[in-house]
Amino acid sequence: MKETSFLLLQAQLRELFPNEGLHQLAIYEDQAGNILIFSTRGLHVLEEDDLTKKPRNIYFTPDCLKPFALRQRDGIFELIVETIKNRVFVLAFPDQTDAHQALQTLVDLLMERTI
């Protein structure tokens, strides 16, 4: 990620999460280049609008997410995040331990809301 992209992302995060510290978020880039931001409120997806090329934020509550899945494909471990409307986001990890750690982080983060 370029420095300007990082600074833009940081500004967007501060706007989306004004009352939460950025350390309370789990941020990943999926294989399609979307930025996925997990918080206790759910999943925010920052993606580029196809027509205007401007960034847009799409929000999914925890209730809109299907159970996460892990799979291995061509030596890469993938964490699958799917919504009830069948939007699929794939997070790739070179190591099985990293994939399991990400899965546990997301589960813990999203379960915080229900406790």
Task: Provide DSSP, 63-88.
Answer: GGBPPPEEEEETTEEEEEEEBTT--E
User: Is residue 3 within a helix (H) or strand (E), and if so which, with residue range?
Assistant: helix 3-16
**pTM of the complete model:** 0.83
Cα separation, 44 vs 83, whole angstroms: 12
Residue 14, both tokens: 């501060």
- Name the residue among 7, 32, 34 with its Cα closest to residue 22: 7
pLDDT by residue (tens digit) across 52-92?
A: 777 778 999 999 999 999 999 999 999 999 999 999 999 99
